[in-house]
């Protein structure tokens, strides 16, 4: 005798118990399915986030390299200006003499 036959012997109470067990089983299965879907969604979003982070890092490196180059050029211009300024200062002193 299985559990369904045993509960059926009790009439309405057995029927209610059978329905309650079926409802619990359906709800539990639904909860497991929802958990699996959320896990898959989280994995997909984590992968997308990794790709986005890689893209941002690549762009960051490109911009950083450009900024470094711009700073080098700016220092070179400043140095050239200082040399020119000093040279012009020496020429002025020679003209004054």
Q: Looking at per-residue confidence, does 96 or 23 come out higher?
A: 23
d(CA 1, CA 76): 95
pLDDT tens sequence across 25-59: 999 999 999 999 999 999 999 999 999 999 999 99
Q: How many CB atoms lie within 10 A of CB 17?
A: 16
Q: Provide the residue ranges of all domains of the chain, joining segments of one domain with +.
A: 3-96
- Residues 7 and 17 sit within 8 Å (Cβ to Cβ): yes
pLDDT tens sequence across 56-96: 999 999 999 999 999 999 998 888 888 777 676 655 555 55
Strands (E), 1-97: none
Residues 6+ away with beta carbon under 8 Å from 17: 7, 10
Q: Give the pLDDT of residue 3.
A: 72
Q: Give the pLDDT of residue 95.
A: 58
Q: Give the pLDDT of residue 97.
A: 53
Residue written as token pair 């896990």:
39
- Residues 7 and 18 sit within 8 Å (Cβ to Cβ): yes
């Amino acid at each position: 005798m299985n559990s369904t036959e045993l509960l059926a012997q009790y009439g309405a109470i057995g029927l209610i118990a059978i329905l309650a067990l079926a409802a619990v089983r359906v709800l539990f299965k639904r909860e497991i399915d929802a958990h699996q879907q959320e896990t898959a969604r989280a994995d997909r979003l984590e992968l997308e986030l990794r790709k986005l982070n890689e893209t941002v890092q690549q762009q960051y490196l490109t911009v950083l390299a450009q900024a470094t180059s711009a700073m080098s050029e700016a220092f070179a211009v400043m140095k050239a200006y200082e040399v020119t300024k000093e040279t012009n200062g020496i020429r002025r002193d020679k003209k004054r003499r």
